[in-house]
A = this chain, B = another copy of it.
C-alpha cells in the first residue's frame, strides 16, 4: 500500500479485441486464458493495467506484445467500459481497443499473465471473463460498420491477395453474399488495388492474380474528397 491519494480512484486497464481471418476467410478472435485470479482459467481479451508514464494507446500496444507477441498492427480505440461492478475485485474502468492482423504473419505465443493464447472462431466463442462478451459484441459491430466505409479490410489479409480472398472477407464480416462481378468492378474502378503481375501459387486450379492495396493512393484520393465505400 504505497500510493496514497486524497480522493479514491478507479483502476484503469486496456483490453484488446484482436481480429484475424483463417484460411477460409472466416473471422477469428484472439483470446488468452487467464493464469491468475479472478476468473483464473477463463478465456478473456488480452489486456492489463495502464502505467502512469505511458499513453493509453501505448499501454494497448505493450499489453498486446506482452501477452500475445503481436506487434505493429492496425489498432484503434473502440469504447470505454466502466459499469460499477464489471470487475469483482474493485472499480475498474477499461478502455477497449480493436486490432486487425494478418494471421499468417504471426505465431501466437502466450506470455506473462496468460496461461495460453488461442484463436477462436467468432461464431464459437467460449464463456468469457468480466464483461468481455459485451466488449466483443461492440467490436464486431464496429468492424462491420467501418469495413464498408474505410479501407481497413486489407489489414486482415496478406499484403498480396486475390480478389476472391478480399470478397470472402467482406462476405464474412458483413454477413452477406456479394456478387462477384459487381464486387470486382466496384473495387477495381477505385484504382486502389495494384495488379502486381504475380499469380497465386499452390492451388490445384486456375490461379488468381495477386493485388496489393495502394495506401498512398488512398490518402491522395481521400484528400481530394473521395469516399471509400463497398
A residues with a Cβ closer than 8 A to B are 1-12, 49-50, 52-56, 77, 79-80, 82-84, 91, 93, 95
Contact = CB atoms under 8 A, between A and B. Distances in A.
6 contacts: A1-B4, A3-B6, A4-B4, A10-B52, A12-B12, A56-B80
Copies of this subunit: 2
Contacts of A77: 79-80
**Chain A binding surface, main DSSP class:** loop
Contact of A5 (B9, B53, B80): B9
Given A1-B4, A50-B93, A80-B95, 14 more contacts: A1-B5, A2-B5, A2-B6, A3-B7, A4-B5, A5-B5, A9-B12, A10-B12, A52-B91, A53-B84, A54-B84, A55-B84, A56-B82, A77-B79
A94 to B, nearest CB: 10
A58 to B, nearest CB: 9
A138 to B, nearest CB: 11
Given A6-B1, A77-B79, A12 B93 contact: yes
